[in-house]
Amino acid sequence: MCHGNKMKSIVLICLLFAAIKASHSASSTWGVRNVTDTLFLNENVFYPAKPRQAQIVYYDIYQNNNRAISAIYLQDQFKNSTGPTNTLVSGGPGYTYASVQLTTFTSIGLNVTFVVYVK
């Protein structure tokens, strides 16, 4: 009976890791768009893969007319969860600027679209 419980535990752990991998998405969202917000930016960012290297890319957003950012949507264009890990480093919703760090997987390029709304 002990071996049966071990096997069940192993299967559950494998299912957990599979669910985590399947739920990984390189798309990120910061903030919420309201119906009164205005589209400020819709830009594709592409970097080709570098063999045996991960890439770290910083993408900076500056809103120079003092309108605060309400939402930042970063959409992975690869559609197979090989896109970057994204971190909002500074600014963002409520600020007039933002800096986002994108870290690619080794030997994988970058293909994302930034969509930014302002209040």
Residue 64: strand, helix, or coil: coil
- What's the pLDDT score for residue 94? 95
Ranges in the chain, pLDDT < 70? 1-25
Copy the structure tokens of residue 36: 């009164």
| Pairwise CA distance, residues 59 & 75, whole Å | 14
73 in Cβ contact with 115 (< 8 Å) = yes
pTM for this prediction: 0.75
46 in Cβ contact with 116 (< 8 Å) = no
H-helix segments, the chain: 2-23
- What's the pLDDT score for residue 23? 40
- What's the pLDDT score for residue 11? 52
67 in Cβ contact with 118 (< 8 Å) = yes
**Residue 2 bridge partners (DSSP):** none
